[in-house]
Structure 1
């Protein structure tokens, strides 16, 4: 399952560096971790349980830059179930 446009709009923004951010999109809860530049790099999407954990899917983001710091590759990959 690839990420849909409403989710991509949220994860393509920059946030506070090195934090966990929670958002809601439609019927799904999102929780993502940001890197030192504030870009989301680890995403959990699904339903939040009573303990605050996301039950659904886990995604990892691959960012690749060239020598001058220009973004070459930006790709989200599904890593499996989030429990």
Structure 2
């Protein structure tokens, strides 16, 4: 599964630093963890069960910076199923 523009638009926003954010997106439940700067770096996408865990797919974000602190690589990678 590849992340689409609508979802990437949500994931490119800045949120509260080092928190877990949960929200609905179309027919999916989303939960993502943010880094120290508030950028989402770990995404769980699927359906939430009765315990509050999301069953579906897990994605991780790679952010690489140059010496000046400018982002030179921003990539989401599917890491498999989330249980």
Interval of TM-score (by shorter of Structure 1 and Structure 2): over 0.9
Match of 2:57 in 1: 57
Match of 2:48 in 1: 48
Instruction: Could you list the structure 1 runs, at least 4 aligned residues long, displaced by more than 6 angstroms after superposition.
Output: none
Unaligned runs of 5+ residues in structure 2 are: none
Aligned-pair RMSD on alpha carbons? 0.5
Matches of 1:55 and 1:6, distance apart in 2 = 21
Aligned ranges 1:1-83 → 2 under 5 Å? 1-83=1-83
8 Å CA contact 1:6, 1:25 repeated in 2: no
Name the TM-score, length of structure 1 as normaliser.
0.98
Matches of 2:53 and 2:79, distance apart in 1 = 17
Matches of 1:60 and 1:43, distance apart in 2 = 6
Unaligned runs of 5+ residues in structure 1 are: none
8 Å CA contact 1:29, 1:54 repeated in 2: yes
Name the TM-score, length of structure 2 as normaliser.
0.98
